[in-house]
Amino acid sequence: MFRMVHYLIYLASKQILRLVLSHPYRLLTFIRFLLSGSLYLRKFLSILGIEAMPIAKKPIFTYRQMNRAIGFFLRLMQPVFIYVVQFVRLEVNE
């Protein structure tokens, strides 16, 4: 059972990576989605049995601050992202 769930998650993540990596803007949107603590992500994690942190009543950062932080993080991690994208594209193509 666990192997089947693990395999389904692997297939879903592979499909998501194909969609996300096909265009740079989609990758940025996907990272923003992950960092925003989205309700859908929380729901998905709760289905998998992973408890997410509780949603704050008041946002900690404004949208502009969040965009700056994400931009800084992406510039800082750009070499790593390029390596990961190249590796994943090789894996997906095989």
Whole-model pTM: value is: 0.30
Q: What's residue 55's pLDDT?
A: 52
Which residues are CB-contacts of 52 (< 8 A; sequence separation ≥ 6)? 37, 41, 42, 45, 46
Q: What is the mean pLDDT of each run of 10 residues along the chain (94 residues)?
A: 65 67 68 61 61 52 67 72 73 68
Q: What's residue 4's pLDDT?
A: 67
Q: What's residue 87's pLDDT?
A: 73
- Alpha carbon 71 to its chain centroid, in Å, reads 15
Q: What's residue 33's pLDDT?
A: 63
Kindly list the domain boundaries of the chain, sorted by start residue: 2-93
